[in-house]
Amino acid sequence: MNMLTFDKTEIQKQTKPFIAEAVFAVETISAKMQMEKQMKSKQLLDRLFPLEKGSHQDVTSYVIDYRHVMAYFKDGSHAGLKNNKHFVAFTGEPEDPTSILFKDGSGAHVEVTFGCHKGTGCVEFVDIEDIQLESCTTFTQTTEESNMAAMRHWISLVQGDEKGKPRACSEDKEYTGKNGEDYNLEYCYNL
């Protein structure tokens, strides 16, 4: 089985950003190879938003507990994120979120959307429907104030085309912030 491995000393020596290589590993897998795409997606989550213990590979459910994301495993144990500051918002119900919004160290958002439960009656691993990365384009407005404006784009890693090419979209998104208030990300906004 071809697995991503992460050697911190190797990463520090690399000239290309590690995140680009990890994203590339997910997005180049054909949509027909869902098992491998799931594995690589969860490895990407392990790299960007690691758990206190365990791996996203082994998670059976995510729950929003007050202002924290809790990941539950088959044996009934659970773990939070190593850095809870990465969790910013969610959609759905706290006990069964449909998506979780993270914010990485650079300030970019990453949305993880979960697939439907299969309903087999067995405890199953979480199915990642999609991971969308935020990418922004900035430009100077031609008004007297000369404000900077930006357009937010979402690059879909899991829901690419048959050749594995990522899909991009631009849309307003609404979430429930971890403090319970609205957390909105507009397509166009001022900096």
Kindly report, residue by residue over 14-68, the tens digit of the pLDDT. Answer: 344 445 565 666 666 666 667 787 888 898 899 999 999 999 999 999 999 989 9
Q: Which residue has the higher pLDDT, 158 or 140?
A: 158
pTM assigned to the model: 0.79
- Comparing C-alpha atoms, which of 128, 130, 88, 122 is closest to residue 105? 88
Mean of per-residue pLDDT scores for the chain: 80
What is the C-alpha to C-alpha distance for residues 145 and 56, in angstroms, rounded to an integer? 46
pLDDT at 54: 95
Q: Which two tokens stand for residue 183?
A: 């957390």
Question: Coil, strand or helix: which one is 4?
Answer: coil
Angle at which helices 18-27 and 34-48 cross, to 10°: 160
Residues 6+ apart with CB under 8 A from 42: 55, 56, 57, 59, 128
